[in-house]
Amino acid sequence: MGNKNNKVFDPEFVKQEMIKKYPAKVARKRAKGIVVNKIEGEDKVVPEIQANVRTIPGIITQRGCCYAGCKGVVLGPTRDILNLTHGPIGCGFYSWLTRRNQTKPETETSENYMPYCFSTDMQDEDIVFGGEKKLKQAIREAMEIFKPKAIGIFSTCPVGLIGDDVHAVARDMREEFPGTNIFGFSCEGYKGVTQSAGHHIANNELYKHIIGENDTPLDAKFKVNMLGEYNIGGDAFEIERMFNESGLTLNSSFSGNSSYDQFARAHTADLDVVMCHRSINYMAEMLEAKFGIPWFKVNFIGAKDSAKSMRKIAKYFDDKELTAKIEAFIEKEMAEVEKVRLDVIKRTEGKTAALFVGGSRAHHYQELFKELGMKTISSGYEFGHRDDYEGRKVLDTIKVDADSRNIEELTIEKDEARYKARKSEAELDALKSDKDFEMNDYVGLMPDSEEGSLIIDDISHYETEKLLEICKPDIFCAGIKEKYVVQKWGVPLKQLHSYDYGGPYAGFKGAINFYKEIDRMLSSKVWADIKAPWEQSPELVAKYAFNN
């Protein structure tokens, strides 16, 4: 049933169609965020794309706010920090359980606040007279009822405006309750231009308030921190299984299925691996600068990339026994994966996909589609920066604008007492010289995407519709707000934030799940039966035949 449109896919034409209707100023701005991909030379140089700039008012964006990135994304998956939203009720309500981070507390009675929503539910008088008093009282009540080991306070838009100082409140409360770590996040929704600002703020405060609290290392070999993995649909469980079965130790996770204690001992790890570069690169850099933990990029989405990532870790540790174990594990897993893949690819080969999501998944998931013989004709991030598109090589050329300047940039100093080089300079240099290894690097989405595919940052609703109308990909990946728009066009949409309540899709078992899921979505009968018999007039049928 291949895609009849992709042979005429002309990205430049599609781009012009997307911006044609926009007011001149809007068209000029959007044109910079819509780029036809071109990969040049050994260094895989790609065209510049505009990213991480202000959303155009009224454009209908996918983007959310700083608070969502901080409280929802980074801190959301940690079960034993009581997350208290300081603000009117809505912000806390919407971020209550909706992101599908799974968690598995150690025991039946271990702390787990994730099914709860805590808010100061600010009222009129709090806005007028200030909300600090209510915030303090809310913390006292939380202490009395729940006695948590830690409380995080998350600021919403009005809080910053009325001048409540959540950090001062946290300080006071720490004094009042010395046994509990209480800290604040100035993650008002208007900060920055997307969720991304919130990731940064979350990284900063975790670093300031928890990291390094517990110097007792795990009694284990090959201790790895998994950074930028949020356990949607159980992804972290699968990665943990892979680690366990191949002789690695998960030291701490940022932050899928994580706990406070994991953060507290993060600095004792031997290695940091980074999944979602966008949301957590700050932490990787800080842990390296202060404690000497090297980091590199991995990708556990896609079986091939999972295997590659495992091998990178093996190479890093350079231990014969570990390498053998990892190789054996990969071999065993890949056999299962291939069985399913070879069956599914019969039905997926040659089909097309479009991916617009987040700050890493629009890249990572292309790998899974490649494994199914599918082509990604268009992709883009919702809150990526230029380095997430073009690679970290462009970091120095990114202009810091007023919106980014407002986000605190911590100055990190080497912790003389606790800094420990995990590798010699020479060893690190060797790893860095291997381009494929991406030591301290991220190549970005564009060098890994199809030549000639259309890269769109912060795709608008209008552009989404144009893409569907002109290109009609066989499958579309985005979020809940886009899902039913796309499906009304008769194109199945896979949510890559929530996974449509499925998953895991990470690792080897995840790849199998994803193959089967895409098979189901593409093979489903419903799309072909949308029209009633009487709606399919002979005239229309003749027209289709003519077009072919």
Q: Contact at 8 Å (CB) between 135 and 185?
A: no
Site string for other proteins, 222-241 (x = CB under 8 A): --------------------
DSSP 8-state class, residue 457: T
Omega of the bond prior to 504 within 30 degrees of 0, cis? yes
**Residues linked to residue 80 through DSSP beta bridges, in sequence order:** none
Measured CA to CA in angstroms, residue 460 lies from 186, 189, 454 at distances of 28, 20, 14
Q: Does 129 bind other proteins (CB under 8 A)?
A: no
Q: Does 90 bind other proteins (CB under 8 A)?
A: yes
- Indicate if 99 belongs to the active site: yes
Q: Does 541 bind other proteins (CB under 8 A)?
A: no
DSSP 8-state class, residue 459: -
The catalytic position among 63, 99, 241, 311 is 99
DSSP 8-state class, residue 40: B
Residue 465 CB, shortest distance to other proteins, in Å, is 7
Give which of other proteins, ligand SF4, none residue 234 binds (C-beta under 5 to 8 Å, depending on kind).
none
- Indicate if 199 belongs to the active site: yes
Nearer to other proteins, 6 or 487 (CB): 487
Q: Which of residues 337-396 bind other proteins (CB under 8 A)?
A: none
Nearer to other proteins, 60 or 345 (CB): 60
Nearer to other proteins, 319 or 403 (CB): 403
Separation between Cα atoms, residue 43 and residue 387, nearest integer Å: 14
Edge-to-edge strand order for the sheet containing 375-380? 34-36, 454-456, 375-380, 352-356, 475-478, 493-495
Q: Does 524 bind other proteins (CB under 8 A)?
A: no
- Residue 469's SS3 state is helix
Of 316, 548, 279, 502, the residue nearest 427 (C-alpha): 316
The pairing of strands 454-456 and 34-36 is antiparallel
Q: Does 465 bind other proteins (CB under 8 A)?
A: yes
CA 197 to chain centre: 13
Nearer to ligand SF4, 103 or 186 (CB): 186
Nearer to other proteins, 166 or 486 (CB): 486
Separation between Cα atoms, residue 10 and residue 36, nearest integer Å: 10
Give which of other proteins, ligand SF4, none residue 391 binds (C-beta under 5 to 8 Å, depending on kind).
none
The catalytic position among 30, 51, 65, 150 is 65
Separation between Cα atoms, residue 87 and residue 499, nearest integer Å: 29
Q: How many residues bind other proteins (CB under 8 A)?
A: 91
Q: Contact at 8 Å (CB) between 446 and 46?
A: yes
**Residues linked to residue 274 through DSSP beta bridges, in sequence order:** 227, 297
Give which of ligand SF4, other proteins, none residue 485 binds (C-beta under 5 to 8 Å, depending on kind).
other proteins
Nearer to other proteins, 222 or 381 (CB): 381
433-444 burial, b at 16+ Cβ within 10 Å, e below that, comes to eeeebbbbbbbb
Which stretches of the chain bind ligand SF4, using CB under 6 A? 65, 67, 87-91, 156-157, 189
Q: Does 135 bind other proteins (CB under 8 A)?
A: yes
Q: Contact at 8 Å (CB) between 28 and 159?
A: no
Residue 251: count other Cβ atoms within 10 Å of its Cβ. 24
Within 8 A by CB and 6+ apart from 37, the residues are: 11, 46, 47, 446, 449, 450, 451, 452, 453, 454, 455
The catalytic position among 51, 66, 68, 284 is 68
Task: Using CB positions, name the residue nearest to ligand SF4.
Answer: 189
Residue 72 CB, shortest distance to other proteins, in Å, is 9
Give which of ligand SF4, other proteins, none residue 240 binds (C-beta under 5 to 8 Å, depending on kind).
none
Q: Does 530 bind other proteins (CB under 8 A)?
A: yes
- Indicate if 174 belongs to the active site: no
Residue 274 CB, shortest distance to ligand SF4, in Å, is 26
Q: Which of residues 42-61 bind other proteins (CB under 8 A)?
A: 54-61
Q: Does 23 bind other proteins (CB under 8 A)?
A: yes
Separation between Cα atoms, residue 217 and residue 22, nearest integer Å: 57
Q: Which of residues 470-499 bind other proteins (CB under 8 A)?
A: 479-481, 483-490
Separation between Cα atoms, residue 12 and residue 315, nearest integer Å: 42
Give which of ligand SF4, other proteins, none residue 217 binds (C-beta under 5 to 8 Å, depending on kind).
none
- Indicate if 65 belongs to the active site: yes
Separation between Cα atoms, residue 63 and residue 460, nearest integer Å: 10
Site string for other proteins, 139-178 (x = CB under 8 A): -xxx-xxx---------xxx-xxx----------------
Using CB under 8 A, which of 35, 66, 355, 456 touches other proteins?
Answer: 66
Nearer to ligand SF4, 195 or 306 (CB): 195
User: Per this entry, what is the length of the chain?
Assistant: 548
Longest Cα separation, the chain:
80
Using CB under 8 A, which of 232, 468, 496, 511 touches other proteins?
Answer: 468
Q: Which of residues 180-219 bind other proteins (CB under 8 A)?
A: 188-193
Q: Contact at 8 Å (CB) between 530 and 264?
A: no
Give which of ligand SF4, other proteins, none residue 483 binds (C-beta under 5 to 8 Å, depending on kind).
other proteins
Paired tokens of 480: 């809940």
Active site residues: 65, 68, 99, 199
